[in-house]
Amino acid sequence: MSTVTSPVSTSDIRPRVTQSLRAIQTLSDALDRMHSGMKGDMDMNASDLATLRMLTIREHRGQMVSPHDVATHLRISTASTTKLIDRLVASGHLERRPHPSDGRARVVVLTDKSRREFFQHFGVHLGAMREIADRFDDTQLATVTRFMDELTEAITTDD
Protein backbone atom coordinates (compact mmCIF):
# COMPACT_ATOMS: atom_id res chain seq x y z
CA MET A 1 0.00 0.00 0.00
CA SER A 2 1.53 3.28 -1.06
CA THR A 3 1.04 6.64 0.55
CA VAL A 4 1.01 9.97 -1.19
CA THR A 5 3.41 12.47 0.25
CA SER A 6 3.80 16.15 -0.37
CA PRO A 7 6.92 17.10 -2.36
CA VAL A 8 7.70 19.61 0.39
CA SER A 9 7.31 18.93 4.07
CA THR A 10 4.69 21.21 5.59
CA SER A 11 7.06 21.87 8.48
CA ASP A 12 9.43 23.49 5.95
CA ILE A 13 6.82 25.96 4.71
CA ARG A 14 6.39 29.36 6.30
CA PRO A 15 2.87 29.89 7.71
CA ARG A 16 2.24 32.90 5.44
CA VAL A 17 3.12 30.79 2.37
CA THR A 18 0.56 28.18 3.46
CA GLN A 19 -2.03 30.90 4.12
CA SER A 20 -1.38 32.44 0.69
CA LEU A 21 -1.75 29.12 -1.11
CA ARG A 22 -4.95 28.33 0.79
CA ALA A 23 -6.30 31.77 -0.11
CA ILE A 24 -5.57 31.04 -3.78
CA GLN A 25 -7.42 27.72 -3.52
CA THR A 26 -10.38 29.52 -1.96
CA LEU A 27 -10.32 32.20 -4.67
CA SER A 28 -10.11 29.53 -7.36
CA ASP A 29 -13.15 27.80 -5.87
CA ALA A 30 -15.08 31.10 -5.76
CA LEU A 31 -14.17 31.80 -9.41
CA ASP A 32 -15.34 28.29 -10.36
CA ARG A 33 -18.69 28.94 -8.67
CA MET A 34 -18.98 32.34 -10.36
CA HIS A 35 -18.23 30.81 -13.77
CA SER A 36 -20.72 28.00 -13.14
CA GLY A 37 -23.38 30.61 -12.45
CA MET A 38 -22.46 32.48 -15.62
CA LYS A 39 -22.63 29.22 -17.60
CA GLY A 40 -26.21 28.70 -16.51
CA ASP A 41 -27.21 32.33 -17.00
CA MET A 42 -25.71 32.43 -20.49
CA ASP A 43 -26.93 28.91 -21.40
CA MET A 44 -23.40 27.72 -22.23
CA ASN A 45 -21.24 24.78 -21.33
CA ALA A 46 -17.85 25.07 -19.62
CA SER A 47 -15.88 25.00 -22.89
CA ASP A 48 -18.04 27.74 -24.41
CA LEU A 49 -17.48 30.01 -21.42
CA ALA A 50 -13.76 29.18 -21.25
CA THR A 51 -13.48 30.16 -24.92
CA LEU A 52 -15.17 33.51 -24.30
CA ARG A 53 -12.90 34.17 -21.30
CA MET A 54 -9.83 33.28 -23.34
CA LEU A 55 -10.90 35.55 -26.20
CA THR A 56 -11.66 38.40 -23.78
CA ILE A 57 -8.20 38.13 -22.21
CA ARG A 58 -6.41 37.86 -25.54
CA GLU A 59 -8.45 40.75 -26.97
CA HIS A 60 -7.29 42.97 -24.09
CA ARG A 61 -3.70 41.92 -24.91
CA GLY A 62 -4.22 42.77 -28.58
CA GLN A 63 -3.69 39.15 -29.62
CA MET A 64 -5.54 37.41 -32.44
CA VAL A 65 -6.97 33.95 -31.81
CA SER A 66 -7.11 31.15 -34.35
CA PRO A 67 -9.28 28.06 -34.05
CA HIS A 68 -6.04 26.17 -33.39
CA ASP A 69 -5.34 28.49 -30.43
CA VAL A 70 -8.77 27.64 -29.01
CA ALA A 71 -8.11 23.90 -29.43
CA THR A 72 -4.72 24.19 -27.75
CA HIS A 73 -6.07 26.31 -24.90
CA LEU A 74 -8.97 23.95 -24.17
CA ARG A 75 -6.96 20.81 -25.00
CA ILE A 76 -9.65 19.50 -27.32
CA SER A 77 -9.56 18.08 -30.83
CA THR A 78 -9.90 20.22 -33.92
CA ALA A 79 -13.25 18.50 -34.65
CA SER A 80 -14.54 19.45 -31.19
CA THR A 81 -13.19 22.96 -31.67
CA THR A 82 -15.04 23.32 -34.97
CA LYS A 83 -18.31 22.25 -33.31
CA LEU A 84 -17.71 24.65 -30.40
CA ILE A 85 -16.95 27.59 -32.70
CA ASP A 86 -19.93 26.72 -34.93
CA ARG A 87 -22.16 26.76 -31.83
CA LEU A 88 -20.81 30.13 -30.63
CA VAL A 89 -21.11 31.64 -34.12
CA ALA A 90 -24.71 30.37 -34.40
CA SER A 91 -25.57 31.89 -31.00
CA GLY A 92 -24.09 35.24 -32.08
CA HIS A 93 -21.16 35.20 -29.64
CA LEU A 94 -18.30 34.76 -32.13
CA GLU A 95 -17.43 35.61 -35.71
CA ARG A 96 -14.95 33.93 -38.00
CA ARG A 97 -12.86 36.42 -39.95
CA PRO A 98 -9.97 36.18 -42.39
CA HIS A 99 -6.56 36.57 -40.78
CA PRO A 100 -5.38 40.13 -41.57
CA SER A 101 -1.98 39.06 -42.94
CA ASP A 102 -2.56 35.42 -44.00
CA GLY A 103 -5.50 35.18 -46.37
CA ARG A 104 -5.69 31.39 -45.97
CA ALA A 105 -6.00 31.48 -42.18
CA ARG A 106 -9.02 32.41 -40.06
CA VAL A 107 -9.35 34.06 -36.68
CA VAL A 108 -12.26 34.07 -34.26
CA VAL A 109 -13.39 37.26 -32.57
CA LEU A 110 -15.97 38.20 -29.98
CA THR A 111 -19.11 39.94 -31.14
CA ASP A 112 -20.53 43.03 -29.47
CA LYS A 113 -23.37 40.81 -28.20
CA SER A 114 -20.83 38.54 -26.54
CA ARG A 115 -18.98 41.42 -24.89
CA ARG A 116 -22.28 42.89 -23.62
CA GLU A 117 -23.54 39.59 -22.19
CA PHE A 118 -20.18 38.72 -20.67
CA PHE A 119 -19.95 42.13 -18.97
CA GLN A 120 -23.60 41.98 -17.93
CA HIS A 121 -22.94 38.74 -16.06
CA PHE A 122 -19.41 39.57 -14.90
CA GLY A 123 -19.87 43.31 -14.26
CA VAL A 124 -21.30 43.01 -10.74
CA HIS A 125 -18.41 40.76 -9.73
CA LEU A 126 -15.90 43.04 -11.42
CA GLY A 127 -17.27 46.04 -9.51
CA ALA A 128 -16.93 44.17 -6.21
CA MET A 129 -13.36 43.17 -7.08
CA ARG A 130 -12.48 46.77 -7.97
CA GLU A 131 -13.84 47.95 -4.60
CA ILE A 132 -11.52 45.49 -2.86
CA ALA A 133 -8.54 46.51 -5.03
CA ASP A 134 -9.19 50.18 -4.17
CA ARG A 135 -8.47 49.36 -0.51
CA PHE A 136 -4.82 48.66 -1.34
CA ASP A 137 -2.16 51.19 -2.31
CA ASP A 138 -0.25 50.97 -5.59
CA THR A 139 2.80 49.32 -4.00
CA GLN A 140 0.66 46.59 -2.44
CA LEU A 141 -1.21 46.04 -5.71
CA ALA A 142 2.07 45.80 -7.62
CA THR A 143 3.22 43.07 -5.21
CA VAL A 144 -0.06 41.17 -5.50
CA THR A 145 0.03 41.49 -9.30
CA ARG A 146 3.61 40.23 -9.48
CA PHE A 147 2.71 37.30 -7.19
CA MET A 148 -0.31 36.32 -9.31
CA ASP A 149 1.58 36.75 -12.60
CA GLU A 150 4.43 34.55 -11.36
CA LEU A 151 2.00 31.90 -10.08
CA THR A 152 0.22 31.94 -13.44
CA GLU A 153 3.51 31.48 -15.27
CA ALA A 154 4.56 28.69 -12.92
CA ILE A 155 1.46 26.61 -13.60
CA THR A 156 1.06 27.44 -17.30
CA THR A 157 2.13 24.78 -19.75
CA ASP A 158 2.97 25.44 -23.36
CA ASP A 159 1.65 22.34 -25.11
Domain boundaries, the chain: 18-155
pLDDT above 80 for 11: no
* pLDDT score recorded for residue 159: 46
How much of the chain, in percent, has pLDDT values that exceed 90? 55
pLDDT of 8 higher than 70 = no
Residue 44: pLDDT over 90: no
HEC per residue, the chain:
CCCCCCCCCHHHCCHHHHHHHHHHHHHHHHHHHHHHHHHHHHCCCHHHHHHHHHHHHHHHCCCCCCHHHHHHHHCCCHHHHHHHHHHHHHCCCEEEEECCCCCCCEEEEECHHHHHHHHHHHHHHHHHHHHHHCCCCHHHHHHHHHHHHHHHHHHCCCC
**pTM, full prediction:** 0.72
- 60 or 1: which leads in pLDDT: 60
The pLDDT tens digits of the residues spanning 67-125 come to: 999 999 999 999 999 999 999 999 999 999 998 888 789 999 999 998 888 888 788 88
User: What would the CATH number be for the domain defined by 18-155?
Assistant: 1.10.10.10
Model pLDDT, residue 14 = 86
